[in-house]
Structure 1
Amino acid sequence: MDISFSKYYNDLNITDTEFYFNDSVLRFLPNIRSLNIIVGRNNTRKSRFFRMVMEHEAYYCWKSDTPFEEILLKIERDIESFKKDFGNLSLITFGINNQTKPDLRNMIEDLISENGTYSSKLMYSLRAGRLCTGIEFIVEKLLICPSESEFELLLERIEKVVRVIEMLHYLLKGFYEGDSGQLINFEVNELKRSIYRSLSPSRSRDLKKERVSPLLNNLASIDDSLNKLKSFHYERLTPNIIYIPVLRTSRTLSGITDDIFEKTIRNQMPSLSTRVLIHTGLSLNAKILKSRNGSKQDFYDFLAFEEFIGGTFFDGREINMIAQYGEDKEIRISLPDERTDVSFNDLGDGVSGIINLLYPIFTAPKDSWVFIEEPENNLHPAYQLIFVKAISENVFIKEKNLKIFINTHSNHILVNSYLSPEDINVIVFSKRDKDTTSLMSFSDDKKSTLDLLGVLNTSVLVSNCLIWVEGVTDRLYVQAFLKAYIDSLDSACGANIREGLDYCFIEYGGKNLVHYDFKTLESDGIDRNVKAFYSNNRILVLADHDNDEAKKEQFSAIENKHFEYIDTGLPEIENILPKEVLIDFLRHLAVTEKLINNVDFKLIATKKLGELFDGVKKNRRKLAIKAKHGGTLSNPYKRKLSEFVFQKVAEGSYDWNLFRKSHNIERVIEKIFSFIKLSNGG
């Protein structure tokens, strides 16, 4: 989904903008997803932009597979080229019938004979200026389109322009190729008797075919772009806006009865609409009272929030958050089998900070847009992970269909967002010059984005143990398998295992494993190998089998009670997936049942999946599923398979009953789980 900024600028009469996207003035903010993260260095106008997005009275949104701005830029470039090429043909005249003329009145005009009377035959002329003006008018109106009904009118105009362009294309091809040519999406019955009437060039040499060929290509390009515009879905949205500013607290301020933080923010942001709900935490007590005593939906949302807090911080116990009447206004948490309630102020900054951030999200109306500034403030990296997993994976929150925007400086939030199953959009800000800022949007290649931003895996330094895996796909598999395994256990056995605090992953990059020393903790001088235990003193290494017995013997022989080595038992981690999962994946790729049945899954114990699946086709086209070397899956399909499995587990389609069909998955995950428990005193 793309948001129009041109309409915002037009409404406020802003002529100079300080924001650029792909070296052009920002007219549309593209790729808006459920989770949108704004990052960049200090003083790159992130906060200014963040607040500007909130100031929109309404959001004018365009939905399609192709970015709206990309289509409009292409049309504008083609129009400039069209003017140059068409200018040499000052007038094109062709014959059409009376039935067609009214539909095309805006683009063509009657041809008057020299004596001032109509010619005996119906002939109409097309001038470049009139056609170009018509297209430019459409682009201009699309930029500031205020409503769905206005867009419908523009679609009608687009249809007429497309018709004229296709007639012109047909005419020129017929003149130069001796036939009508083949034109997409247009039946030219009205031109059957007369392909063309005349071409009136400024210079005779302009009638040469090589000078008209670029014009034909140009017409085809414009025609294609205008037809793509017809596939766009337009919406004018006025969602509920929730703003969680950096000026917030989860503490009660003595002697303060009003939300002075909210008043301060509204004074500093006078353009902010009164419909924007600002949540600073100072009025949390009153909001909890409203949730408990308000509508049925308010109460239902609050129960889901209490369930999440109890499951995350109180060992899965059912809790009650109690707001107080009177001057004290202290929030207390009631626990079963506990005589004394826990004061909110005794929870610690991390837990109270999470409550303050997530309460307005759990209780938000459906389809709301939520803007959060620097959620990492006062949050331990493990709690940042809890926050990210909640907004990206919690089923209750996902069903609300929220659009969440986060302005952050935290690598932990960025990395953990990318490792979540949520489809996210990262908007990177950088200074273009002293007066303007450049924006870039990334939503697909997650690993490359992290590399570009220079993100380091610093979160490993705060975990109680490390799980070393070969790469990103291995990590996704183990995360998925672990979640399925833990979900199958009693809540007391596995619910308190938290990634980012109790354990964390690090990717060692396959063959790079030989450059790490897992034997010693200290060094007397320069060593050619990296001391692995400098990062953490409890390490588990998971590696592919690869038929490398020497490697297995080397690491299995390490005597350290805080080190464990496991291999997958098969050539690669993908090989340990159950047959049912691999069949589901091939179906997901639209491979036919016949080709799936031709795959010999018995060879999975010895062959890599690239070899095993080599030759499968989609729509009769062979998929590039095998890497050029080594027989493994190509990188795009490695990523697709791992994300497919991860998503299936996240949505509940795959569980431990499926994965335990693989002896190797069962063996590996039970060992990893035991290692994590032991490393955390379990």
Structure 2
Amino acid sequence: MKDFYDLIFSENTELNDYFLNEEVEGISFFPKFNNINIIVGANNSGKSRFIRSFMSFQNLQGVDDINKIKTFIPIYNKEVQEVNKIIDSNINTYQFRSENTYYSDGSNPDRENVKILSRNILKVLDFDVLTDFLSIVKENKDKIVNVSYFGIKNQYLSEFNEIDDFFLKEFKSIKRYYIPTLRTAHSLFNFDLKLDKYSKIENDVFLETLNNYYKLDKIDVEVFTGIHLYKEILNTRNSRREIRQSFEKFEDFIGKYFFDKRKVDIVAEFNKDESLAGNNNLENISVHIEGEKNTRDLFRLGDGIQAIIILMYKIFMSENDSFIFIDEPELNLHPGMQRLFLEQITRNDDLKKKNLTYIITTHSNHFLDLTIEKENVSIYSFSAKKNTHGEKQFIIKNVNRGDNELLRNLGVNNSSVFMANCSIWVEGISDRNYIKAFLKSYYDWIGKSYPKEDIDFAFFEYAGSNIDHYIFEDKIEKEDVEIILEDIKALAISNRIFLLADSDASKQSSKKGIRLKELENIKSDNFIPKVVWNIREIENLLTNEMWKEILIELCNKTLVKSNEAEVLLKIEEALSEVKYSDYEKRYVGEFLEEIKNKMGKISSSFILNQSTYEVKSDGSFGTIINKKELSELVFNKNFSWETLSKNKEIEKLTIEIYKFISRKQ
């Protein structure tokens, strides 16, 4: 499945002052458009204006005259690059003829040499040619017999969808929703001096303000400010079944994450008699939580819950395949709430089925954290500058993950990590994934909701920082040890820290062992150092039962494809002879090498890929090469606590961290 594509813009986009990277001409395409697109930058960097303009774009397919309407066409980048190579190397001129034949040098090129001819826009596509191409195929779809269009042979054109799957991403229609910064979960009231009472303001003054400034009423977009949330809930409760089901899923989400998995009913209270009497100031949204005697009013809930309701309500109620535009979703959201929002739009099964596309502007570095773990996110950095004539311009960059310059532009500093109640320090993202897997399983087993990350606790990855260099390297001066230990104690004064460290099978009498013992000795109420002495590294915790579920992912893909049943049998047989516990203080590569030899070969090729672990120059074996990938396999398997707790080290470590987060130690 192709996960991102480029959006090629028509010429009349009104984005002439936006430039991609350091190009000298205005932006004509938006690269690597994805399921989730995060636009970040300082104030006045053109973010909101860009997405308001983008809202008015129409998809090229189905548009008769691209000169009158701002359009885009989504194109899969890899295929475009291949076509460009062919065009640039083989085609100097082209001529399109209505006889359904393409000629460049008097001959008819076949599909393998030329797929679609053009090199105008960005050296990618000529819009006029492409428009002709699409319209001709649509009109003659049933008549294609032994002819070729633009070098694409008829068997490839027999189904128009096949073209889309190869080259174009087709949007039959796009429903757009916009959640602006001007939003609230409250109905608005003013005081009527004549009547000596408060009356509800019927008009959506937020929307009218936006329309006045930005002419959103001229765009085919549904703007949701939240002011009419009461009416929307009232109408939803009385709508057809599929709409009510979407609302029930929204209620399930609220109950799961804010009220300990209890059933929640969100009701727009309605008094028919008062309404008929003209009394409109009694509108109220109430929240009933299972097991509670009294119903709560929405306006009495915390600002964070109200803010997340505004965001998630419209997303849950949106139509499938929609575009969701959101300006600064972090407003009134604690970092933990921001993480919850991001986890829902990426992981919630009900929302994934909707196949939504998100375009989000933000100032929050916590939204960037998502890219550490997710592949379906693109990040764009927006910045402002003035050209030589003093005119303001906006620079757009599609940036890589972990872009430090981007973080600096947002004013991010290390204190961000201390916004949670406590922090768990781990050596890297793989340790983080394992701990999350263990904790989620344990919380499910004891029947409690998983704590909110970045609120109840936060992970801090210290690999590569001073603690890693000072504490865990062999060459170190004694005074440096004392300095870093003092720093840790100072941090612990303002933040509760649980620090997890691998021993690398070091003896406590070794130099590293002595340093780790010194780390343990500064334990305090706020600082809990946990050195895992009984294993070399966290991967050594994986039991045979766990390896049985994930080993197939480390095997030769070609062999697995044609011999899956035999491979699974080989895995089971090898694990019956090799015990993980015999390798607890040895490198995982030694364990996997033994498994590889026990599994043997199919068609002269080893089943287990030796490339997944280190092979040292002396012929010995080291650790896993891609630790992150292995940890994600474990995390995604959702192992039960019954399975995990068979390893007493996992059980002990997990319960210690649980008690730490729960303030029970």
CA deviation profile, 1:181-218 (whole Å, cap 9, x unmatched):
xxxxxxxxxxxxxxxxxxxxxxxxxxxxxxxxxxxxxx
Measured at CA, do residues 423 and 4 of structure 1 come closer, stay the same or move farther in structure 2, by a change above 3 Å?
closer
- Any conservation in 2 of the 1:107–1:134 contact (CA below 8 Å)? no
Residue identity over aligned pairs, in percent, reads 29
Give the number of equivalent residue pairs.
557
| CA gap 1:659/1:419 in 2 versus in 1, 3 angstroms | farther
| Alpha carbons 1:2, 1:62 under 8 Å: kept | no
What residue number does 1:414 align with? 368
- 1:666 paired with 2:619, answer no
Partner of 1:540: 498
Q: Are residues 1:475 and 2:422 paired?
A: no
Change (3 A) 1:605 1:15: closer
What is the aligned partner in structure 1 of residue 536 from structure 2? 571
Paired residue type of 1:665: I
Contact 2:34 2:376 in 1 (8 A): yes
Alignment match, 2:630: 641
Over 3 Å counting, the alpha-carbon distance change for 1:398 and 1:657 in structure 2 is farther
CA distance in 2, matches of 1:335, 1:582: 42
Q: Give how far 1:675 is off.
A: 1.4
* Deviation of the 1:69 alpha carbon: 5.4
- Name the CA distance, whole Å, in 2 between partners of 1:157 and 1:510: 56
- Sort the Cα spacing of 1:68 and 1:44 in 2 relative to 1 into closer, same or farther, 3 A: farther
Compared CA separation, residues 230 and 465, structure 1 to 2 (3 A): closer
2:222 alignment counterpart: 277
SS in 2 for 1:30: strand
Letter in 2 for 1:106: Y
Tell me the alpha carbon deviations over residues 13-50 of structure 1, each in whole angstroms, 9 at most, x when there is no partner. 76946232574764433333332211123333222222
Give the counterpart of 1:487 among 438, 444, 460.
444
Structure 1 residue 504: deviation in Å?
1.2
Pairwise mapping of residues 117-132 of structure 1 onto structure 2 (< 5 A)? none
Structure 2 residue matching 1:19: 3-state secondary structure = strand
Partners of 2:174 and 2:323 within 8 A in 1? yes
| Residue in 2 that maps onto 1:249 | 184
Structural mapping, 1:157-172, within 5 Å: 157-159=149-151
Distance 1:125 1:341, change over 3 A: closer
Structure 2 residue matching 1:429: 3-state secondary structure: strand
User: Quick one: distance in 2 between partners of 1:622 and 1:560?
Assistant: 44
- Paired letter, 1:495: S
Secondary structure, aligned partner of 2:125: helix
Secondary structure at the residue paired with 2:269?
coil
What does the per-residue CA deviation read over 1:439-498, in whole Å, with 9 as the maximum and x for residues that have no partner? 3335xx74x4467644545442122221111112211221122112212222xxx21622
SS at match of 2:207: helix
Look up the equivalent residue of 2:635 and give its one-letter code.
Answer: F
The match for 1:20 is 20
Structure 1 residue 466 corresponds to structure 2 residue 430: no
Mapped contact 1:262–1:278 kept (Cα < 8 A) = yes
Which residue does 2:233 correspond to in 1?
A: 288
Q: Which residue of 1 aligns with 2:253?
A: 308
C-alpha displacement at 1:667, in angstroms? 1.9
After superposition, the Cα gap between the structure-2 partners of 1:72 and 1:26, relative to the gap in structure 1 and judged at 3 Å, is farther
2:350 corresponds to which residue? 396
Query: Could you list the runs of 5+ residues in structure 1 that have no partner in the other structure?
Result: 87-101, 110-123, 163-226, 518-525
1:544 is displaced (CA, Å) by: 1.2
Offset of residue 370 of structure 1: 0.9
After superposition, where does 1:248-397 map in structure 2 within 5 Å? Answer: 248-254=183-189, 255-270=200-215, 274-325=219-270, 326=275, 327-328=280-281, 329-397=283-351
| CA RMSD, 1 decimal | 4.1
Residue 608 of structure 1 corresponds to 587
Q: Confirm or deny: 8 A CA contact 1:626 1:632 kept in the other structure.
A: yes
Partner of 2:660: 675
Distance in 2 (CA, whole Å) between partners of 1:488 and 1:161 is: 58
The 1-side partners of 2:26 and 2:615 are apart by 41
Partners of 2:235 and 2:584 lie apart in 1 by 59
Cα displacement (A) at 1:68: 5.3
The CA distance in 2 between the partners of 1:394 and 1:572, in whole Å, is 32
Alpha-carbon distance in structure 2 between the residues aligned to 1:55 and 1:146: 23
Mean alpha-carbon deviation: is it higher for 381-390 or for 53-62? Answer: 53-62
- Taking the aligned partners of 1:407 and 1:293, their CA distance within structure 2 comes to 34
Question: Structure 2 counterpart of 1:574, which letter?
Answer: E
CA contact (8 A) 2:434 2:634 kept: yes
Contact 2:554/2:612 (8 A) holds in 1:
no
1:107 matched to 2:104: yes
SS in 2 for 1:439: strand
Give me the whole-angstrom Cα distance separating, in 2, the residues matched to 1:297 and 1:266.
31
- Of the structure 1 ranges 478-487 and 594-603, higher mean CA displacement relative to structure 2 is found in 594-603
Residue type at the aligned position of 1:365: E
Counterpart CA distance in 2 for 1:302 and 1:425 is 29
Deviates more, 1:621-630 or 1:24-33: 621-630
For residues 516 and 134 of structure 1, the distance between their equivalents in structure 2, rounded to whole angstroms, comes to 59
1:626 and 2:614 are equivalent in the alignment: yes
Instruction: Determine whether 1:428 maps to 2:381.
Output: yes
> Unpaired runs of 5+ in structure 2?
61-71, 94-98, 142-146, 155-161, 190-199, 472-481, 509-513, 560-566, 597-604
Give the partner amino acid of 1:561: D
**Are the equivalent residues in 1 in contact too, given 2:236–2:244 (CA < 8 A)?**
yes
Deviation at 1:157?
3.2
How far off its partner does 1:278 sit?
0.9
Alignment partners' CA distance in 2, 1:358 and 1:641? 32
**SS of structure 1 residue aligned to 2:170:** strand
* CA contact 2:15–2:26 (8 Å) conserved in 1: no
SS in 1 for 2:453: coil
> Structure 1 residues 502 and 388 mapped into 2: Cα distance closer, same or farther (>3 Å)?
same
Structure 2 residue matching 1:281: 3-state secondary structure: coil
3-state SS, counterpart of residue 539 of structure 1 = strand
TM-score, normalised by the number of residues in structure 1:
0.71
Kept in 2: contact 1:147–1:236 (CA 8 A): no
Give the superposition deviation at 1:598: 6.6
Q: Specify whether residues 571 and 134 from structure 1 end up closer, same or farther in structure 2 by C-alpha distance, changes over 3 A only.
A: closer
Q: Which residue of 1 aligns with 2:65?
A: none
Question: In structure 2, the residue corresponding to 1:671 is in which secondary structure?
Answer: helix
Shift in Å, 1:512: 4.3
